[in-house]
A and B are shown apart, each in its own frame.
Chain A
Amino acid sequence: MTAPLLEVDDLHVRFPVAGTGLTGRGKRLLHAVNGVSFSLAKGECLSIVGESGCGKSTAALSIMGLQEPTEGEIRFRGRPMTGPSAPTRMERAKAVQIVFQDPYASLNPRQTVWRSLADPLRLHGITAKSESADRIAALMRSVGLTPEQAGRFPHEFSGGQRQRIGIARALILEPEIVVLDEPVSALDVSIRAQIINLLLDLQDQFGLSYLMISHDLSVVEHMSDRVMVMYFGQLVETGSWQQIFASPAHPYTRRLIAAIPDPAHFGRISAEPFIDAPNMFAPPAASDLTEIAPGHFIRRTALEGAARA
């Protein structure tokens, strides 16, 4: 058992939300991420699934250092990423990088791809022209483009090519962890397959660890080693992809899986009934995850609810 690369321990992120009226009286705290703990091992693909507003992106932003956690600790190779001994942004950039959903919105339209790739290298002390040229050329080939294409601007590429550039940009500093924020949901079906294949190839080639955020469960099943299901700021179920997809235990997980329109089931739509949404402003109910099979955890309140039903 290798030591985890990234450990997240009881992560909380709360946002103050102004109340009503001109004075904003009755300010409340929105519990966006509510006591989330997990670890990510080297070479693993861990996915966070859940619907909009469940806190999955906020959790990822905390790991990126773009959102200060209200409480909790994030450690990279045992070293805290938050608090007074936190690494600087420069150090963090070599550990964790992100691939965004919309590659066009995340690339500078006025910079050539070359500059988008060369600037991080220069900032991190790789100033020799030949070295940065070699690294950019090698990376462009790794993501399925030609080194010559680096001279172009983002608008000269198709959506799929732009996402390849987004991936190259994330990998240029050779990070160990790559956060994939809905990496293929903005792409057309045929391009999607190419990018998924590429991400899996790169993971093999460079031994990358992925933390993937997605609401597309068929992509999650295809790519992940482990899956975490988030619901209103809390983890409700975590397990290996086999456990989550073959024997989902939490009603919300079952509801998510049942909702996927599947070409193999013609004419079937299962819309399972709503589960009462927890109040995002209320402090968390103290409940822990319970292990129901090796590595397969489920939130206890749900178990009790299921037992009562």
Chain B
Amino acid sequence: MTEPLLDVRDLVLDVPHGRGSLPILNRVSFQIHPGEAYGLVGESGSGKSVTSLAIMGLLKKPLRVSGGRIGFQGRDLLTLPKREMRKLRGDRIAMIFQEPMTALNPLATVGRQIAEMFMLHQGKSRAEAAPLAVAALESVKVPNADRRARSYPHEMSGGLRQRVMIAMALACNPDLLIADEPTTALDVTVQAEVLRLIKDLCAERGTAVLFISHDLGVIASVCQRVGVMYAGCLVEENETAALFETPRHDYTRGLLGALPRLGSRAAQGRQRLIDIDSIIADRSRLTETRFITPRREETP
């Protein structure tokens, strides 16, 4: 039995409201093992992004953690001093955001921004870090990496910027990469390239991935296991193939049926898409049942 790399247990997040509080996350638990790609899927407001921010220690007031623990390599991230957390962030846990333009500094060349990673976390000098940054750009298949390192973010296309983000995130060979809707802003063909890149690089380096998306197709093509979130709860979790073939929770079934599937019209004619509200009588009862299938140990 291998130890999980990330062990989120009964995480509760809320916002103070009057004398009480509004729940944001309701006892969310999941584990990610070393080298595993885990997907969190859900609609806007389901709590998938705040989960990732909680792991990164980037929650802003009035959001607060009021229960649970986030274990990472044997330590509880929630009780870790800020200094320690800062060391971890970017080095052992890295993150890619949805909109690379807002996540990159517009006033610094991308080479310099990547170089900072080596300077901050590995104590390299600027001169030592510069060629490492170029190499990092090469690893994400940016053409003419040498020249591109001297470009500013606005000089790049959305796809290239996202590659820069990936280069930056993977610069220090983190153990966990959190990717929050990394391809939502991109065209489909660019999306395919970026997904391929994330998948291949992480597999190569043994980096575990927490992949957050509302797009079931994207999740299916990258992740081995998937958790479905609804209204702050993890309502179903299973291996990707099993989840898509035999969804057990009403909400998961609704989500899958709501999606036009490529090729289904040719196979069965145009079927009416499932209106999730027609199969779910009462949305407020959705979170009462949870279907969590434990991870199978790999049997070689």
Contact = CB atoms under 8 A, between A and B. Distances in A.
B188 interface: yes
- Looking at A51, A190, A217, A272, the one whose CB has the most chain B CB atoms below 10 A away is A190
A268 interface: yes
B119 interface: no
Interface stretch (A82-90, A205-213, A258-266): A258-266
A189 B259 contact: yes
Interface string B245-275: 0000000001111111111011000101111
B193 A215 contact: no
A259 B189 contact: yes
A26 to B, nearest CB: 19
A50 to B, nearest CB: 9
Given A188-B43, A192-B258, A263-B244, A245 B189 contact: no
Given A261-B220, A271-B193, A221 B265 contact: yes
A242 interface: yes
B181 to A, nearest CB: 13
Contacts, number: 128
Contact of B187 (A51, A188, A189, A266): A51
Give the dominant DSSP class at B's interface.
helix
Interface string A256-299: 11111111111111111000000000000000000000000000
Nearest to B184: A185
Nearest to A216: B188
B258 A190 contact: yes
Contacts of A270: 192
Contacts of A51: 187-190
Interface stretch (A62-70, A112-120, A193-201): A193-201
A197 B220 contact: no
B258 A193 contact: yes
A264 B270 contact: no
Contacts of A190: 43, 254-255, 258, 275-277
B271 to A, nearest CB: 9
A218 interface: yes
Residue in B190, B191, B218, B262 with the greatest tally of chain A CB atoms within 10 Å = B262
B262 A217 contact: yes
Q: Report, as a range, how many residues of chain B touch the other chain.
A: 35 or more
Contacts of B106: none
B258 A189 contact: yes
Contacts of B66: none
A269 B244 contact: no
Given A215-B188, A221-B260, A271-B192, A189 B266 contact: no
B275 A194 contact: yes
A261 B215 contact: yes
Given A242-B266, A245-B266, A269-B196, A259 B260 contact: no
Contact of A222 (B189, B193, B221, B265): B265
A255 B189 contact: yes
B212 to A, nearest CB: 14
A262 B192 CA distance: 11
Given A218-B262, A245-B262, A263 B216 contact: yes
A22 interface: no
A52 interface: yes
A146 to B, nearest CB: 16
Contacts of A218: 217, 259-262
A197 B189 contact: no
B192 A269 contact: yes
A246 interface: yes
A241 interface: yes
Contact of A193 (B190, B192, B193, B273): B273
A242 B270 CA distance: 12
Contacts of B221: 261-262, 265-269
A262 B266 contact: no
Interface string B192-203: 110110010000
Most buried by A among B44, B189, B215, B255: B189
A196 B189 contact: no
A242 B261 CA distance: 14
A219 interface: yes
A52 B217 CA distance: 20
Contacts of B254: 190
Contacts of B274: 193
A132 to B, nearest CB: 30
Given A259-B192, A261-B191, A269 B255 contact: no
Nearest to A264: B261
B48 interface: no
Contact of B195 (A193, A200, A222, A261): A261
Contacts of B241: 266
10 contacts: A188-B214, A190-B276, A215-B188, A218-B262, A245-B262, A262-B261, A263-B256, A264-B220, A264-B244, A267-B222
Interface of A: 51-52, 188-190, 192-194, 196-197, 200, 215, 217-219, 221-222, 241-242, 245-246, 255-272
State the 6 A-B residue pairs at the shortest beta-carbon distance, nearest first: A261-B217, A193-B258, A222-B260, A193-B273, A259-B192, A190-B276
Interface of B: 43-44, 187-193, 195-196, 199, 214-218, 220-222, 224, 240-241, 244, 254-263, 265-266, 270, 272-277
Given A190-B43, A222-B270, A259-B191, 10 more contacts: A190-B275, A218-B262, A221-B260, A242-B266, A258-B192, A262-B262, A266-B221, A266-B244, A268-B221, A271-B189
